[in-house]
Structure 1
Amino acid sequence: MRTLRTLSQSTLGLIVCLAVGGLCGVFAEPVGQFAYFIGQLYLSVVNMAAIPLLVVATFFGLRQVIALPKPRTRVGTIVALALGLVVVSAIVGTLMGVLIMPGEHLSAAAHAHLGELVLKSASDAEEVRVTLFDHGGSSGEATPGVLSIADIFPDNFYRALAEGRSLGILTGTLLFGMAFAALSREKTKMLSNVFEGVYRSLETIIAHANLLIPVLVLGVAANLTSHTQSATLDAMSGLLLCFAVSIIVLSAVAIGTIAARAGQPFLRVLGSLKAPLLIGLTSGSATAPIPHTIEAMSERLGFSRGVVELVVPFGSVFVRAGSALYYTLATVFVANLYERPLGPGEIVVICAASVIAAFVSAGQNGVATVGYTGLVLSLLNLPVEAAGILLVTVDLMCEGPRNVLSLLSVCMVIALVSAGLPSERVAAVDARGAVELNPVLRFTFTRGQLVLAAGCVVMVASLIVVMGIGVGSR
């Protein structure tokens, strides 16, 4: 158990697992497939705990934030910053795509290879169009939509929970959570204790499940090397490079902002966030780093525990800055692949549609998020089939960096909202793990002073005994 815990939080250990997985994919495919199967079981356990953790953490976090100064302003600021960071990520992704133009200068062989993949997938499927809202009607006549009014405002909250509709769950949770937080603590004391126990239990489940991350890394590496063609990776290298550069730039800005608000050096903040960043990068799940992120942001970096416990679970599902960046770059890549010119109007459409697609895809992980790229492509009259076949081949490599950027965006929201509040900050933990406290009063005694103090205590005790004897004899 200790070995797995150390390995799951070790950068070098995960790199070794990645290399071993790549070798297994080439020379020992059955071993790699077994590790991939175990990794999928791990993701199932994490996703199983994700929705109840979101619900309970929202209740619990709202109660704590309501008790802080200016709670309405605080919650409004959190929502505005979360939306703003997703929009900024979409703008940066679009601008990076327009400047670098991935997919524009492909060789004839690479262009022919990608075209063959798209045609091969489209030959077995009918034309697909995706719209934002479901307009209803018969299944044969209606254009399928990725979002409906029932997804946002469900008429049955339990059905939304059972079907995993994240937006509907959010609506019901916020309404109930605000009503719960408005009640007095005497009326909700028992329910608060239940929420606390459930919250900590779900955190424990995810923390123990994260011990299987090395196995997941090995399995994913084996699966990639055994199923991905090198020609496809070469043809899409421009998209991957542009995506990696954008992630690095935005992540550095986010860590720098957190360091400035926490009043700590850049490298120390990076070290404090090492565990959640590694888990988010390698697990493929946005909810797996939740326990480690809460610990890092509150106990190590000293931000408000109430704000942290509200924003981290909520933001891990709905602050999808990495997805917004990914959707913009993928759309620009497909547009260049089909030689579709992008004017100012199309650039605005890509930004807006990518932000909407990022929020609509809340609660989705893995290749399920690729389908939401079709929403942006449809608005530009580009073939949705291109997203289905081209992006799936590289999605496993992009999922981890997407999670890292989204996680850092959540931490940045926390830093901007809760920093500068001395009454809410806890003592920061230094690099050695000791708590840094400003000494107010310090008691130090020499050996002679201790002997004198002990003599005084004995003398006072003797006088009390003598007085007691005298009073009793009278």
Structure 2
Amino acid sequence: MEQADMGFLTRMSHSLLALLMCMAAGGVAGIFAPALGDVAYTAAQVYLSIVSMAAIPLLVVATFFGLRQTMGLPFPARRIAMIAGLALLLVASCAGTGLALGWVNSPGAHLDADLREHLGELVQKAGDGGDMEMRLYDGGVQATPVERPRATLLPDNFFRVLVEGRSLGILSCALLFGLAFAALARTQHNALNHMFEGIYRTLELIIARANILLPVVAFGMSAHVFSQTDAVTIRAMSGFLLHFVVLVALLGMAAIWVIHRRGNQPLVEVLQHLKTPMLVSLVSSSTTASIPHTIEAMSARLGFSRGIVELVVPTASVFLRAGSALYYVLLALFVANLYDRTLSAADIGMIGTGAMVAAFASAGNNSLTNVGYAGIVLSLLQLPIEAALALFLAIDLICEGPRNLLTLLASCALIAIVSAGLPSERVAAPAAHAAPVQPLRFVLTRGNVYLLAGCSVLASLLILLMGIAVGARQAVQPPAAYATSAAANPGISR
């Protein structure tokens, strides 16, 4: 019975239709039965806690393994520099695409008077310090103020950033440790290598088992959003949400096409293998929950170098902020259009540059803090930061899934480009037309059976005779010899 329940939840967590149905049911529950949504949201928080508990050490170990294997590839320094440069280029491409299409479509410029007045009231309340409560993650979280954390790129205390869960500082320490470890001789790190391998597989198993709760997470998150957010606010922000989701879909399809072309795999197989990590990123609200599935899909299924995969996937979940760059670009354009701000060519350039700076500055922070970094872009245009806090905190939980999905697909496209020329590590499935393996058969003739039986009897007789001889020798041992033996072993009394 337990195995059947586990199998059912696993199939549900890997089905896009099932997850969409859970999200729709959660929205209905959030509107008409908020208590049920609160129970499911509590279960979703338990899931996120389990994933965060296992993801941080997995981040360290996966980065360590990936860096060690990458250092063993030809021209490792060149490949690492190529990874960093292409990651920056991908983030800039996402920001530029969002800037171009967003400038043409002008999200937020065609709101009717009632919705514009409603959004203006929200911004006014936030600016005046009014009692506006937007509960997204905890019951007591207010829309203001949002505190920006201290920079922890190079922390002075690894254990402190480990306790605080600062993934940016943790990853920096893991990279330094991996570089030092890769410089050791192979005979010096074999024992540690085996230990880390066991830890790595255990953490992968924990996250994989936790991900079977994705249907409950989808239900709980959807119920929480619809129960805590005003429907008028969601309708007023629907233009931004539509632009953001459509651009994520377009850029995601471009990334999948790159993976398909570079991996020489059919497009259907690419989508099939990436389906699970894509669903996990879209539903889980965590950039690290999909790490085990992504590593398995990109290396064992699609054949890209496992060393490159294990290096890029965990680091990209923190550093490659393609989804955040697109988010900040559209956010700035929406607020500018809301305030009827005419944008010049210089303003467009400042939005693109500011969005990239804000995306990298927000690395390693949670969703609530990410909205605060939008102030970097808005301050360049001299627009009120309160607009970001009042308007986008209400819908940020909806945007988090697509934002994580774009980051995942951008990192997979980066892997496909960097792995060019390396041997494939795809686990080949057995060919359907191959002849079945014939079992090995032992055939004994009658003479062989007689010889085997005779040898067995002879061996038994020899063992019996040896036992009789040893027993007889002990029985006829003289008393003097026994006394000498007892004197030599005073601890034996009898």
TM-score bracket for this pair, using the shorter chain length: 0.7 to 0.9
Which stretch has the larger CA shift, 357-366 or 286-295? 357-366
Offset at residue 146 of structure 1 (A): 4.4
Q: Which residue of 2 aligns with 1:86?
A: 91
Contact 1:286 1:365 in 2 (8 A): no
Query: Mapping of 1:49-448 within 5 angstroms?
Result: 49-124=54-129, 146=148, 151-422=152-423, 425-427=424-426, 429=428, 434-435=429-430
SS of the aligned residue for 2:92 comes to: helix
CA distance in 1 between partners of 2:331 and 2:294 (Å): 29
Offset at residue 387 of structure 1 (A): 0.8
Offset at residue 319 of structure 1 (A): 1.1
Structure 2 alignment gaps of length 5 or more: 1-5, 132-145, 449-494
Give the letter aligned to residue 303 of structure 2: G
Offset at residue 35 of structure 1 (A): 0.1
Offset at residue 172 of structure 1 (A): 2.4
Once the two structures are aligned, what percentage of the paired residues are identical? 52
Which stretch has the larger CA shift, 361-370 or 64-73? 361-370
CA distance in 2 between partners of 1:437 and 1:413 (Å): 33
Alpha-carbon distance change, 444 to 334 in structure 1, aligned in 2, over 3 angstroms: closer
Contact 2:299 2:426 in 1 (8 A): no
CA distance in 2 between partners of 1:11 and 1:168 (Å): 34
User: Normalising by the residue count of structure 2, what TM-score does the alignment of the two structures yield?
Assistant: 0.81
Larger radius of gyration: 2
Give the letter aligned to residue 32 of structure 2: F
Give the letter aligned to residue 391 of structure 1: F
Offset at residue 78 of structure 1 (A): 1.2
Alpha-carbon distance change, 357 to 427 in structure 1, aligned in 2, over 3 angstroms: same
Q: Which residue of 1 aligns with 2:47?
A: 42
CA distance in 1 between partners of 2:201 and 2:365 (Å): 23
Offset at residue 361 of structure 1 (A): 1.5
CA distance in 2 between partners of 1:83 and 1:147 (Å): 23
Contact 1:284 1:365 in 2 (8 A): no
Cα RMSD between the aligned structures?
Answer: 2.7
Offset at residue 386 of structure 1 (A): 0.8
CA distance in 1 between partners of 2:147 and 2:231 (Å): 34
Contact 1:257 1:412 in 2 (8 A): yes
Offset at residue 340 of structure 1 (A): 2.1
Offset at residue 270 of structure 1 (A): 0.9
Give the letter aligned to residue 413 of structure 1: L
CA distance in 2 between partners of 1:443 and 1:270 (Å): 30
Structure 1 alignment gaps of length 5 or more: 127-143, 462-474
Offset at residue 305 of structure 1 (A): 1.2
CA distance in 2 between partners of 1:153 and 1:4 (Å): 41
CA distance in 1 between partners of 2:176 and 2:83 (Å): 17
Contact 1:427 1:437 in 2 (8 A): no
CA distance in 2 between partners of 1:90 and 1:232 (Å): 26
Give the letter aligned to residue 372 of structure 1: Y
Alpha-carbon distance change, 98 to 193 in structure 1, aligned in 2, over 3 angstroms: same
Offset at residue 48 of structure 1 (A): 2.3
Q: Which residue of 1 aligns with 2:455?
A: none
Q: Which residue of 2 aligns with 1:464?
A: none
Offset at residue 55 of structure 1 (A): 1.6
